[in-house]
Amino acid sequence: MNLPVVSPSFHRPPRHPYAWAWVFTASQLLVVGLWWRWGWPAGLPAMVASHLTVIWATLHPRSQLLAPALSRLPVADRAVWLTIDDGPSADTRAMLDLLDAHGARATFFLVGERASAQPELVREIVRRGHGIGQHSHTHPQAWFWALPPRAMRAQIDAAQAALTAITGTAPRWFRAVVGMSNPFVASALKRHGLARVAWSARGFDGVRCEPEQVVDRIERDLAPGAIVLAHEGAAHGRNVETLSLLLERLRALGYRCVVPDGDASVPEPSAGSAGEDIQRRREVESGIATH
């Protein structure tokens, strides 16, 4: 049976989604003051620096300037949060089988439009005890970072509605497309109580097709509490093979895959199942449900 746990304190939806606007306005007033007092030699560098700061905050996946972003779990032992982006896809069932075989749990960050086209896969993810997060509605990879307010809200609203309709439960976690989160994301997240999730270990398996290289890169960034980014459905067709190797490597290194409590409810494995020994070691720590 699942043990009772405390709701995780690290689930942090944006509280002040327009704070960036006040800060940016203040910075531009400062630029005007510098320009008026000392001319362009002082004003121009200040203006460039202020604009570059906004660009950096938009493009850097772990930036906290525009909205809170979780990139590591507060655990001290060898536990990681495995997250899988871009589904559902033709890879989903095979990935679920691999996770079952290793007694591991993951959170799937799903694209709303793809979920609506294959709702049975979404329900299968939930049935097997894994978490669901949202990853926009149409996955506009090239332009998500530049979407204006109305288009950004539409992406997040539509994905939330689609996933909630399929599963009966509203997702609690959000991952920006390609990790880029512009100033208009925060207000949409606050509307739905969504917390943004970044990552601390990735192997670029969305574009790289050599599983060994992908897993080697992830391993270099592994540490207690790491959030591992993986993908499904990439054009190179080797995401399942990569996940298999990754799960084997994690087990060899003594890492367990965990998900935040409330994201999944895993049934007890039957006697002799692959996850039996991990099930016996289940524990509660810092608001994390583990297997």
Q: Which domain holds residue 39?
A: 19-59
Q: Is 10 part of any domain?
A: no
Q: Which pLDDT does position 263 carry in this prediction?
A: 64
122 and 252 belong to one structural domain: yes
What element of type H or E holds 259? strand 256-260
Q: Is 8 part of any domain?
A: no
Active site residues: 85, 231
Q: Which pLDDT does position 149 carry in this prediction?
A: 96
75 and 40 belong to one structural domain: no
Q: Is 125 part of any domain?
A: yes
28 and 143 belong to one structural domain: no
23 and 148 belong to one structural domain: no
Q: Is 13 part of any domain?
A: no
Residue 8 in this model has a pLDDT that exceeds 70: no
Instruction: Give the tens place of pLDDT for each residue, 224-271.
Output: 999 999 999 999 999 999 999 999 999 999 999 999 866 643 333 333
Cα–Cα nearest to 286, from 5, 4, 82 = 5
Residue 17 in this model has a pLDDT that exceeds 70: yes
Give the whole-angstrom CA distance, residue 218 versus residue 45: 38
280 and 139 belong to one structural domain: yes
101 and 147 belong to one structural domain: yes
Work out the pLDDT band at 289, boundaries 50, 70, 90.
Answer: very low
> With the C-alpha atoms ordered 57, 59, 61, 67, is the resulting torsion angle positive or negative?
positive
Work out the pLDDT band at 2, boundaries 50, 70, 90.
Answer: very low
Q: Please, what is the Cα angle at 57 between 55 and 61, to 5 degrees?
A: 120
259 and 181 belong to one structural domain: yes
* End-to-end Cα distance, the chain: 12
Number of domains in the chain: 2
Looking at every residue in the chain, the average pLDDT score rounds to: 88
